[in-house]
Structure 1
Amino acid sequence: MKILITGGAGFIGSHVVDLLIENGHEVCILDNMSHGKIENINSKAFLYRFDIRDEKVIEIFKEEKPEVLIHNAAQISVPYSVEDPINDASVNIIGTLNILEAARKSGVKKIIYPASAAIFGNPEYLPIDEKHPLEMLCGYGVTKHTVEHYLKIYKNLYNIDYVCLRYSNVYGPRQDSSGEGGVVAIFCEKMLENESPFIYGDGEQIRDFVYVKDIARANIMAIESNSCGIYNISTNQKVRVNELFQLIGKALNRNIKPIYTNTREGDIRNSYMSYEKAKKHLGWKPEYNLIDGVIETINYYKKSMKK
């Protein structure tokens, strides 16, 4: 199957590309390389270096004629969406509409879209399921949810199937530690350098960490499924940030203490998500536990820091 993936040189996208190729699919990547890295790109995938807002995107779609679009490319920084909501919307809404129109005009049959847990805001109940009320706290959450509405419209008007995958906190090899969401990468890199990482607040906040290879599998299963709709991709496991820090320290055999600092404005205290709907309709469930995923991630950073 011919598949076009935007953002395929990035952290999550590159893992999806690898698994697609491993499963025998033909893959082309559309990425402006603002966050993507050349070393992430599978040698069997072809790269088009374009911004998703570029008017020439339609020519790429008409040339490649993909059956499936996986739309990973996005502006992903929550603080940036607060500082510059216009550009945030330009990329995540206008850029996405440019991609959706290219998909429609070139005969794409199905779209896989990674949504975000940022749309839920402070949870009213836990675990969060797909019926949980939405309360976006920033422009980033608004833009990600807006695309969910557009996908439903494109299904109703143009009969393009879609699957939205709402990810919890994704971690794993190739994650950029400079991003605000990459706490596992930050802890790994800092402790490998015998430095103390910051923990915002008291470290007792709860998160739901899902391994990137499980995320890649969810994309494959979404392509193969006849289901159409929105699904949480998560572990439904409660992990405190302090517990995560201790686990990584033990795996690295490092006796390092963190530096506690003020809670960041807008940070959600506790969040974890149910994946029961994805299990029922996609046949997906997480295969990696946190320990195994963290060990694989640590081994990656050990190798990359030696280069």
Structure 2
Amino acid sequence: MAVLIYGGLGHVGSWVARKLIDQGEEVIIFDMGAPRFDSLGLDYLEQVRDKITLEAVDVLDAHTMLEMALKYKNRIDAIIFGVAVIAGPTFKDRPFKNVSINTVGLLNALEVARILGVPNFVNLSSGAVYGDQPGGQTEDTPFTVTDLYGATKVANEVLATQYGATYGFDVRNARLYFVYGPGKRPEVMHPLYQAMFGPLAGMEGIHSPNGGDQQLDWTHVEDTAAGIIALLQAEGMAGEAVNISCGVAYQHRDIVERVAKLLGKDSGMELGPGPFTPRGAPLDIGKARERLGFAPRYADINDGLADYKAWLDKTG
């Protein structure tokens, strides 16, 4: 039986795919980037290309999505929905498009699960459902919406959970947080990410207008993927949500300093004052530790930064 990953060529989805393949699972990826696979720079997926079924699917094209999924009827026993326009200051610039991709896209994937009778569904949600509430948020912390991105994640959790309850399939929500690491080059990210992680790729002199005073859980992508798979495979978690992060908050200026120390030089990165986005940190990952046996490998960000640098050096 196969796991279908929507957005399986994205940063998190690609690592979920690789780790499932390493476990011997069959993986089907629906992703608009499928025709450009060879140019995406995902070396860790290129190594197992012969074990991946790739399909170019637009999550807003419900008819084509269902037709494509019908090709694999009776082979899919789990869906992971990981398509999303990520949070950030520019999300509000294209509200209808971005909200549609995040929420209508999820709705279309839920319809595939309902029509095909797929028994298991993991929705990749976000700690954004807690808004700007102070750190230490547990899964019992009430929803607080402080931006449009967070609104899509709250809506998605409610829709997904009710679909599962109404149509009798197992739905789980993985609340992810800020992710860094192999598979995403700093050059294509927002200025704050570039200012913190860009020197690992040789970038210099980047200025982020804000974010310097904020501290957030920056979680290595392999830890994020491992937590998602642990949630997918855990017994007795139907209808539940789980925080998946490193569980440690690091101030952004501190990350800049750690990168400089790792490289042995100052790359001239500057962070403006205030927060980058309305979020509190760290997430409480006690439930993930207890119920999933989740233990982040890179809870010490120094280890994660060194691994990220090694990948960037290797891929050039």
TM over 0.5: yes
Aligned to 1:302: 313
Aligned counterpart for 2:297 among listed residues 287, 293, 297: 287
In the alignment of these two chains, the number of paired residues is 302
Deviation at 1:263, TM superposition (A): 4.3
Matched, 1:209 2:213: no
Aligned to 2:156: 147
Query: Distance in 1 between the 2:223 and 2:177 partners?
Result: 12
State percent identity of aligned pairs.
Answer: 26
* 1:279–1:285 contact (8 Å) kept in structure 2: yes
Which deviates more, 281-290 or 156-165? 281-290
* 1:5–1:70 contact (8 Å) kept in structure 2: yes
Aligned counterpart for 1:49 among listed residues 23, 45, 56: 56
Secondary structure in structure 2 of the residue aligned to 1:165:
strand
* 1:30–1:50 contact (8 Å) kept in structure 2: yes
* 1:235–1:274 contact (8 Å) kept in structure 2: no
Q: Quickly say closer, same or farther: Cα 1:159–1:16, change in 2 above 3 A.
A: same
5 Å-filtered alignment, 1:85-164, equals 85-123=95-133, 125-164=134-173
Secondary structure in structure 1 of the residue aligned to 2:71:
helix
Matched, 1:254 2:249: no
Deviation at 1:200, TM superposition (A): 4.1
1:234-280 deviation line (CA, Å, top 9, x unaligned): 2221211111111111111223332243546x623752111011122
* 1:114–1:166 contact (8 Å) kept in structure 2: yes
User: Root-mean-square deviation (CA), in Å?
Assistant: 2.3
Q: Quickly say closer, same or farther: Cα 1:194–1:142, change in 2 above 3 A.
A: closer
TM-score (norm 1): 0.90
Q: Quickly say closer, same or farther: Cα 1:51–1:247, change in 2 above 3 A.
A: same
Q: Quickly say closer, same or farther: Cα 1:234–1:77, change in 2 above 3 A.
A: closer
Aligned to 2:22: 22
Aligned to 1:232: 243
Question: What letter is aligned with 1:141?
Answer: G
TM-score (norm 2): 0.88
* 2:138–2:285 contact (8 Å) kept in structure 1: yes
Which deviates more, 206-215 or 77-86? 77-86
Which deviates more, 19-28 or 98-107? 98-107
Q: Quickly say closer, same or farther: Cα 1:48–1:186, change in 2 above 3 A.
A: farther
Q: Quickly say closer, same or farther: Cα 1:81–1:189, change in 2 above 3 A.
A: closer
Deviation at 1:147, TM superposition (A): 1.0
Query: Distance in 1 between the 2:60 and 2:17 partners?
Result: 22
Query: Distance in 2 between the 1:291 and 1:298 partners?
Result: 11
Unaligned segments of structure 2, at least 5 residues: none
Matched, 1:3 2:3: yes
Q: Quickly say closer, same or farther: Cα 1:46–1:244, change in 2 above 3 A.
A: same
